[in-house]
Structure 1
Amino acid sequence: MHLAHYLGLLHRAQINLADAFRQVADAHAEEPDLHHLCERQAQRCDQHAARLQPFAARYSEDAPSEPDRLHSQLFSGTRTGGLGLLRDLQDLYLMAAECDIAWTVVGQAAYGARDEELIAVVRDCEGETAMQLKWLRTRMKQAAPQALVVAE
């Protein structure tokens, strides 16, 4: 069964996303809403990773290196200024999109395995990840005019 592979991928991706949200929160603390909301999103990712733990044990988690590679390629550090904020938000969006599709794949496997507990976790967490993506998209729309049109 290869479900363990995707559980490992998703678990690691959630941990990396939480770390990235915290880095952005700290780097852009001068933004009134960003620090608090990024910290909240990081906590949500921590909760998602924790909810995966029982299933990782059940299916013998196989932690692949792909999420770490994605994290290091996208997030070698935060940037400064308005353009830096926009790029950091875009990196977060791409990392959250990786989690989103992994939730979809794990959910389909859970249906195939008839694992009702995992289906319930996927349903909850997939919805919260979709909200993260919507928030990031909205925040990028808010940051874009200032970063791309107004000179710093």
Structure 2
Amino acid sequence: MSMHLAHYLGLLHRSQHELADALRAVRRAHPDEPDLTGVCERLAVQCGNNARRLEPFVRRYSAHLSEEPERMHSALFSGARRGSLGLLRDLHDLYLLATQCEISWTLIAQAAEGVGDEELLDVVRHCGAETAAHLLWLRTLMRQIAPQTLIVAP
């Protein structure tokens, strides 16, 4: 059982690093968006911290880091784009990457309950809540900029 838990821990650990990198790429690509710049960096730091919080469990369950998140990252986020449509597309990509993390937190929480690992469950609850907040922020921002971006010509 812990073999598959190890797989998901490795997947999530790598996904958190990939999301942090993508957030920083979007921040750099859109320096004219001051609110975005600060929030992207704060969320990237949280993702890095979440990955570090997972490390003891990755070791505990003898996880071997998976290649899947890297493949997913390259498929979903090939680099930040320019302009207002680029920003909307970048936010959409970030949302998909964050969703990967969110479902992994959820599945790992189920496994942590199953194996009675309260320490892992505490980490998952805290970090999963942060990821849910990231998704809410991304969804809200996309909804705010979509009408102007999709209707008004550049």
Which residue does 1:97 correspond to in 2?
Answer: 99
User: RMSD across aligned C-alpha pairs, in angstroms?
Assistant: 0.7
- Cα distance in 1 for partners of 2:47, 2:79 equals 19
Residue of structure 1 aligned with 2:135, choices 118, 133, 136: 133
- Cα distance in 2 for partners of 1:93, 1:41 equals 12
Residue of structure 2 aligned with 1:109, choices 108, 111, 125: 111
Which residue does 1:36 correspond to in 2?
Answer: 38
Which residue does 1:88 correspond to in 2?
Answer: 90
- Cα distance in 1 for partners of 2:35, 2:147 equals 17
TM value normalised by structure 2: 0.97
Gaps of 5+ in 2: none
Which residue does 2:77 correspond to in 1?
Answer: 75
- Cα distance in 2 for partners of 1:102, 1:77 equals 23
TM value normalised by structure 1: 0.98
Residue of structure 2 aligned with 1:15, choices 2, 17, 32: 17
Does 2:4 align with 1:5? no
- Cα distance in 1 for partners of 2:142, 2:72 equals 20
Identity %: 61
The one-letter amino acid of 1:19's match is D
* Residue 143 of structure 1, CA deviation: 1.3
* Cα-to-partner distance string for 1:52-84 (whole Å, 9 max, x where unaligned): 011011111121111101100111111111100
- Cα distance in 2 for partners of 1:40, 1:142 equals 20
Gaps of 5+ in 1: none
- Cα distance in 2 for partners of 1:66, 1:96 equals 15
Which residue does 2:151 correspond to in 1?
Answer: 149
* Residue 29 of structure 1, CA deviation: 1.1
Residue of structure 2 aligned with 1:56, choices 51, 55, 58: 58
* Residue 32 of structure 1, CA deviation: 2.2
SS in 2 for 1:33: helix
The one-letter amino acid of 1:124's match is H
- Cα distance in 2 for partners of 1:80, 1:145 equals 18
Which residue does 2:47 correspond to in 1?
Answer: 45
- Cα distance in 1 for partners of 2:124, 2:65 equals 18
Moved over 2 A (4+): none
